Structure 1
Amino acid sequence: MTMSGWAEARWLVREAFADAAALAFPVWCAGCGADGRVLCAACRVALVPRVSRRTLEGGLSVWSGGEFDGMPARVLRAAKQTGQGALAAGLAPLLRASAEAAASSAAVDVIVRVPSSRAAVRRRGFVPLEQIAARARLCTTGGLRVVRPVADQRGLDEASRHRNAEGSMRVRRVVAGLRVLVVDDVVTTGATLHEAAAALRAAGAVSVVAATVLQTPRRR
């Protein structure tokens, strides 16, 4: 599950540049708003993994490193907006812990990231999940691709999210006979992960489990 030394070195260099820029320009902590760094020491310490498991409709097991609420949610939103290496590094332990929990439940041959749309990659210039996974030292692959655009999931109910995601992904590498761990940033209704797992199984994956950085708290 560990990334290569060369890949890790690239991310360390990128974060060093981000930290140097923070010395030249005023910055505020994404978690609490304190000035000084994009993620203060207190918020970094507070990002402690609290791994939980849920089972989606269809039987996909998903482990998450924390809840998408409060400070962790603010940090993840900022990481997706800015691409700051320090934010990805702060969130990395959550993804690492959830991935390890998932892998301990079932043997894993390959870790596949849920893909970002081409439009999102062009708009941001980076892939947030790839940054977090690299900081978590997970050797992930872009084994899935988006084959049709989907609407913004925000504001959609669970049934609409599943219809929106249906048929949106295809496998871009051989997974036949492999046991796959699929990772994403947040699980809400599970529509995206459900579609990713369906595409992987259709391509011959023998088993699929999932891990995310955070999960949206479920309504009681």
Structure 2
Amino acid sequence: MTDIRRVARSALGEALSLVFPVECAGCGALDVPLCPECRAELRAVTVGRPLVHGVDVWSALAFEGVPARVLRALKEQGRTALARPLAPALRAALDAALATAEARRGAPAEIIVVPVPTSHAAMRRRGYRVAELLARRAGMRPVRLLRPIRAAADQRSLGRADRARNVEGSMAAPSAAGLRVLIVDDVVTTGATLTEAARALRAAGAEVIGAATVAATPRRHVGADAGQTHT
């Protein structure tokens, strides 16, 4: 029943955003949820980068300017309808990650898409799981293998090393022996959260073939962050 209520809440939010248009999430233009100019700024240009422990992550947008504002509106303002225009970017990143895995390992077996889990506090605040919502809008069938097992502090004021220590040991997964998984999230910053997700999945017996995110924080802005954009 709880999941039904959450789905209904998300659907209602999307419907209301169409019936009662708000300002553009990218530029603030009135009477349009996302103007054509800002929608064009969400055009995917996939970029890959290596993380710790051999996990490559592919992202399609830079987390700055219009993409950053649209993602923040999705995450912190309850504007779930924005998941749809953001979804093609995640789809492009996912396709790039799968193509890379196939090139390295040959024709892949079935691959399970696993979203980074939403913290209990964020779920209470938002009522929806951002990474999972984006994955579904991108045509994926995400599987909740990961779960948070302890709370992590807000990452926004932390440097790279402190972020890694902050999330270390914060996730777990049930037995996943023999599964091949690809991790998805909204944004990657230092890679600390994705690295912890990969650790937890490998500890459960899964093979992690890579990760895909909508956006990545440019390296010159590694200290910047917002909301749950702390991966």
* TM-score using structure 2 length: 0.84
Q: Is the 8 A contact 2:123 2:129 kept in 1?
A: yes
Residues 66-145 of structure 1 aligned to structure 2 (within 5 Å): 66-106=61-101, 107=108, 109-145=111-147
- Within the candidate set 131, 152, 155, 1:153 is matched to 155
- Within the candidate set 160, 167, 170, 2:169 is matched to 167
Q: Is the 8 A contact 1:93 1:136 kept in 2?
A: yes
Q: How many equivalent pairs are there? A: 208
Map of 1:22 onto structure 2: 20
Structure 2 counterpart SS, 1:94: helix
Change (3 A) 1:130 1:206: closer
| RMSD, aligned α-carbons | 2.1
Superposition deviation, residue 149 in structure 1: 0.4
Alpha-carbon separation, structure 2, partners of 1:29 and 1:182: 30
Alpha-carbon separation, structure 1, partners of 2:206 and 2:26: 38
Letter in 1 for 2:211: A
Greater shift in the superposed pair: 159-168 or 108-117: 108-117
Superposition deviation, residue 130 in structure 1: 1.9
Alpha-carbon separation, structure 2, partners of 1:130 and 1:44: 21
Letter in 2 for 1:196: A
Q: Is the 8 A contact 1:11 1:134 kept in 2?
A: no
Q: Deviations over 1:86-141 (max 9, x none)?
A: 31111111101001111112235200000011111011111122221111111111
Alpha-carbon separation, structure 1, partners of 2:173 and 2:44: 30
Alpha-carbon separation, structure 2, partners of 1:133 and 1:85: 13
Change (3 A) 1:10 1:46: farther
Structure 2 counterpart SS, 1:58: helix
Map of 2:41 onto structure 1: 46
Alpha-carbon separation, structure 2, partners of 1:122 and 1:50: 33
Alpha-carbon separation, structure 2, partners of 1:164 and 1:212: 21
Alpha-carbon separation, structure 2, partners of 1:20 and 1:219: 37
Map of 1:200 onto structure 2: 201
Alpha-carbon separation, structure 1, partners of 2:171 and 2:199: 9
* Structure 2 residue 59 is the aligned partner of structure 1 residue 58: no
Alpha-carbon separation, structure 1, partners of 2:18 and 2:23: 14
* TM-score using structure 1 length: 0.88
Q: Deviations over 1:11-70 (max 9, x none)?
A: 9955761344325xxx10010110112212221232100100000122210000111010
Superposition deviation, residue 207 in structure 1: 3.2
Letter in 1 for 2:192: A
Alpha-carbon separation, structure 1, partners of 2:160 and 2:177: 30
Change (3 A) 1:186 1:158: same
